[in-house]
Amino acid sequence: MPETKVPIRPAAILLGLVLIPLNSYWVSIMESIKYTGHPTTYSLYFNCVCWLLLLVLLSELGRRVRPWLALNRAELLTIYFMLAVGSALAGHDQGQVLLSVILYPHQFATPENGWKDLFLPHVPAQLLVSYRPALKAIFDGHAAFFSDDVLKGLAVPLFWWGLFHLALLVSFASLSVVLRRQWADAEKLSFPLVALPLEMTTPEFRFFRDRLMWIGFTIPVLINLVNNLHQVWPGLPEIGIRTHFLSDYLTTRPWNAIGWSPLWVQPWAIGIGYLLPLDILFSSWVFWWYWHAQAILATALGLGNSKPLAPYIPEQALGAYLGIAVIVLWSARAHLKGVLRSAFTARQVAGQEHEGLSYRLACLGLSCSGSRCTSAWSGARRCCSSSASWASPSPCSGCGRSSARRCTTCTSPTPGW
C-alpha cells in the first residue's frame, strides 16, 4: 500500500526556526561554558532527542485540546532534522572552533612568533577579526555581545564564513539527493541513527507502550543516577562502568604504548551496536586492536624515538577514508551515470519522482555550492585587496609607509594560526 504524503505546515518550519537559537545556546552552554555532556561529539545528539521527546509529548497534549495543534510525524521529524543541523553548526568542531580561528590570530600575533610574515600573505584579511576594539572587548570581557565594537568586528568575517557554511549545507543536501536511491534502495543501508527518531514518532505512542523499551531505558537511568549521587555523597558506592583502562595493567615497554584504552560499558553504544550491521561492528573491533598493536610494535622497534609520529595512525585513517570514497563511487557508478544522464537530458531515471529534488537541480546545487565554497574564499581576498586600494596612500603615523594595507596591519596584530 503506497504511503500517504502528509504536508508540512509553515507553522512547523517556524517552530523549528524558533527552537534552533535556543538549542544552539543550550549546546554552547554545555560544551563551551560547563564543558559537560558534549552532545555533538556523539553520533546521536541527545539534545535533539530530548527536544523530540518534548515535542511528542506536547503534541499529544495539544491533540487532546485542539487537534490542529498536534504536529504530525513528518513535521516532528523535520524539526528534529533542523535541530540536528543547527547543533552540528554550533557544536565543538564548527561554530565553537570557528570563533577561535577568526579571533586568535590577530590577538596573539607577536614579532617573536613571526605570524605576520608567515601567514598574512596567505589568509584573506576579511576572514579574520582584526578590529582592535572588538578583540579587546571579547578577550578582556565585560562587554555585551551586541555592542557596537563587537558587532563591527565580527560582521564581515561571519558574513564570509556564513556563505561558506551555506554552500557546504547545499552541497550536502544535493549529494544526499544524488546518492539516496543508491544507498537506501539498492544497497539497503540501515541508517541506524534515524531508527530512534522514527520509532519515537510512530502513531499511537507504540514506542512508549513497549515494555522492553522501558526496561532498556531504566537500566542506564539507574546507573547514571547512582553514579551522579556518588559524586555528591562519595560514601554511596559507584557503579564502575567507566573506571577501568587496559593501560593500567600494561605499564612496561613496549606494552605501555597501547595508550588510551578504556574498558567501559556504554549503554548508548550497546544500543546503537544492535542497529549496526555485523560487518561494521566486527571491523571496528578488529581495527581498534590493529591500531594499538601498531603502536606497540613501533615502540618495540624503536620508531617512537626517531619518528615520533610512527605508526602514522591519522595518515592511515585519511587513506582509509579516501579508499572508502573510491569504493562508494565505484559501486554507484551505474546509478551516477543515470543521474548525470537525467541531469543533462530530458530522460528520467526510475524512482526519481520520489526524490525531494530533481537530479538536475541536485547536480546544479552541487556544482554551484562547490564553486561558492571557492569563491567565498577568493571573494574575501578580492574584497580585502579592493578595500586596501580604496584607502588613502598617505604615510602611516605608525610605520611611516604609504601602503594602506600596511597601515591596516601595523595598527593591529597580524593574522596567523
Over its length of 417 residues, how does the chain's per-residue pLDDT go in tens digits? Answer: 445 677 899 999 999 999 999 999 999 999 988 888 899 988 899 999 999 999 999 999 999 998 888 999 999 999 999 999 999 999 988 888 898 889 988 888 888 888 888 887 788 888 999 898 999 998 988 888 888 889 999 999 999 999 999 999 999 999 999 999 999 989 988 898 999 999 999 988 889 999 999 999 999 999 999 999 999 999 999 998 888 899 999 999 889 988 889 999 988 888 888 888 888 899 999 999 999 999 899 888 888 666 667 888 889 999 999 999 999 999 999 999 999 988 888 777 777 777 888 888 999 999 888 776 666 555 555 544 443 333 333 334 334 343 333 343 343 333 333
- Residue type for position 127: L
Helix axis angle, 313-331 to 333-344, nearest 10°: 60
Predicted model pTM:
0.82
**255 C-beta neighbours (distance < 10 Å), count:** 15
Q: Let me know if 326 is exposed, middle or buried by CB neighbors in 10 A (0-12, 13-18, 19+).
A: exposed
Q: Evaluate whether residue 233 is within a structural domain.
A: no
Q: What is the 3-state secondary structure (H, E, C) of 281-330?
A: HHHHHHHHHHHHHHHHHHHHCCHHHHCCCCCCHHHHHHHHHHHHHHHHHH
Q: Evaluate whether residue 28 is within a structural domain.
A: yes
Task: Name the DSSP class of 245.
Answer: B
Q: Which three cell numbers stand for residue 121?
A: 600573505
- Report how far Cα 347 is from the mean position of its chain's Cα atoms: 36
Q: Evaluate whether residue 68 is within a structural domain.
A: yes
Q: Evaluate whether residue 22 is within a structural domain.
A: yes
Q: Which three cell numbers stand for residue 154?
A: 565580527
CA–CA gap between residue 380 and residue 391 (Å, rounded): 17
Q: Give the range of the structural domain holding residue 76, as residue numbers without chain letter.
A: 8-90
- Residue type for position 303: L
| CB contact set of 66 (below 8 Å; sequence gap of 6+) | none
Q: Which of 139, 130, 157, 138 is nearest to 407 (CA)?
A: 130
Number of domains into which the chain is organized = 1
Q: Which of 210, 188, 234, 226 is nearest to 331 (CA)?
A: 188
The alpha-carbon radius of gyration of the chain (Å, integer) is 26
Per-residue model confidence (pLDDT) at position 18: 97
DSSP character string of 349-373 = PTTGGGSSS-HHHHHHHHHHHHHHH
Q: Evaluate whether residue 135 is within a structural domain.
A: no
Q: Are 59 and 76 in contact (CB under 8 A)?
A: yes
Q: Evaluate whether residue 86 is within a structural domain.
A: yes
Segments in 91-147 forming alpha helices (H) = 97-108, 115-119, 132-140
Q: Evaluate whether residue 63 is within a structural domain.
A: yes
How far is the CA of 118 from the CAs of 105, 114, 122, 228, 248, in angstroms?
A: 12, 6, 8, 49, 43
